[in-house]
Homo-oligomer: A and B are copies of this chain.
Amino acid sequence: DYSKLDQIVIGICGGDGIGPTITHEAERVLRFLLKDDVAKGRIVFKEIDGLTIENRAAHMKAIPDDVLAELKACHVILKGPTTTPRAGDEWPNIESANVAMRKELDLFANVRPVKVPEQGIDWTFFRENTEGAYTLGSCGFETEDGISIDFTVTTTDGTERIAALAYDFAHKNHKNRVSIVTKANIVKATDGKFLRLCQEMGAKYPEIVTDDWYIDIMTAKLVDPKRRQDFQVFVLPNLYGDIITDEAAEFQGGVGTAGSGNIGKRYAMFEAIHGSAPRMVKEGRAKYADPCSMLRASAMLLSHIGYQKESDQLTAALDKCMFEEKALTITGRDTGCTCEEFGDYVMRTIETL
């Protein structure tokens, strides 16, 4: 409960590529919204610079130890996109900083809202964030005769806590439906358990309808304009959550428009769901990077630490700006404004609300 804290430390972690640009802009907007409490010392921003691919490669670690210590000294973190090395890349094969942070800070829930008011879409996804295909992602192996094996892991505790969070959210926000998404007809031990435990949690909320779907059918249902308004809250294992939230964000305008909260018992980290766009940096276009997703993530952060009014202000301003011309011609689209101009525009809009 953040309301009991005398001081809240917000870590600002720029990441790679366009990350520092858009994260810096989000910090500027946060400082603007929180200026009184910054002045009083209740809110402190802490810059964490070491989460770059260069530094991670130098230490051959997804999160170097000193960076991890800095992260752990914060209450909440705003994180820019980080580059994940790929086979054949210039970078050595180190784990995704994202995935490592979720594990190290035990951020067990990935919460992703997707809204398209004019289409009646108001979805909130609760993606389990530390288990499933991600738990032992580097423990797979290949036998001599060419058989490769990977593991999927689902624990009882891990499932119960994500289910509890999803239903608690549904309950508090007066949602009347929770949809469980798995592939329990095939992936029986892990998804079967996930489905069963979520159903058991659902049974404790008689006012909420619980339904369940296979992931293949659900990716189709989201596309169907006749069906998609029916869904409200989703709870799903890590990999399916990863897949379906990218699809869902597309209806809202793409991954560039969506923020994401990684929530644990002790820490919380908010981030954009898109990548670090190294090409924009190489081509000298970083200053045109679109900060919308980081600003959405910032609104989630504000709400999480108890600044609901400021969160609502930011959300209202973003809803307005993103539909206006400046926003529509932003970044990459030739005549766009810069990241900084967009930040200014959001702050001016907040003042006129």
Contacts and interface: CB of A to CB of B under 8 A. Distances in A.
Interface string A163-200: 00000000000000000000111111111110110000
A156 B146 CA distance: 5
Interface string A3-26: 000000000000000000000000
Nearest to A138: B188
A185 B219 contact: no
A17 to B, nearest CB: 16
Interface in A110-150: 133-134, 137-138, 140-142, 146-150
Interface of A: 84, 86-87, 96, 99, 133-134, 137-138, 140-142, 146-157, 183-193, 195-196, 215-217, 219-220, 222-224, 239, 242-247, 249-251, 254-255
20 contacts: A87-B192, A87-B196, A96-B185, A137-B187, A140-B188, A140-B189, A140-B190, A148-B193, A149-B189, A150-B190, A151-B151, A152-B152, A216-B243, A216-B247, A217-B246, A217-B255, A220-B249, A220-B250, A223-B223, A224-B250
Given A150-B189, A219-B244, A223-B250, 20 more contacts: A84-B185, A87-B184, A96-B185, A133-B152, A133-B183, A134-B186, A142-B189, A146-B156, A147-B153, A149-B189, A150-B151, A151-B151, A152-B152, A219-B243, A219-B247, A220-B246, A220-B255, A222-B247, A223-B247, A247-B247
